Amino acid sequence: MVTKIGSAALLLTIVFMGVKQGMAMMTGKPEMLEMFGKWDFGKLGVMVFGALTLLSTVLIIVPKTFVWGNFLMAATILFIICFQLFHGNLKGAAVEVPFLLLNLIVLYLRHPLNS
């Protein structure tokens, strides 16, 4: 019971953050364009990345696609970490690590609606 409540709370956190960041990328928020611009991503590339983030969020919500959604979101976070490290931004990479761990913990705990 406690595990399901914890899993649900973490799931809601992931969904909230995924929608927030995905929409920021899809709408082309200046801070997102600036961050991805350092890696030579244009506005279209940022929008596609935002669409992937939103897709992974939707997949996480559905119990049957929960694992795929978490893998996709973890991959996008890992992608950002790799670009941060490639450009020597250790602080930026360190900021992303808790979000990656959050996805891995939720994967371990499983979807709260699964038996």
* Torsion, Cα of 77, 78, 83, 87 (10° steps): 110
pLDDT at position 43 is: 93
pTM (2 d.p.): 0.89
Domain boundaries of the chain, sorted by first residue: 2-109
DSSP string, 49-90: HHHHHHHHHHHHHSGGGHHHHHHHHHHHHHHHHHHHHHTT-H
Cα–Cα distance list, 68 to 20, 86, 91, 93 (Å): 20, 26, 28, 23
Q: What is the pLDDT of residues 49-85, one digit of tens each?
A: 999 999 999 999 999 999 999 999 999 999 999 999 9
Q: Does the structure show a pLDDT above 70 at 115? A: no
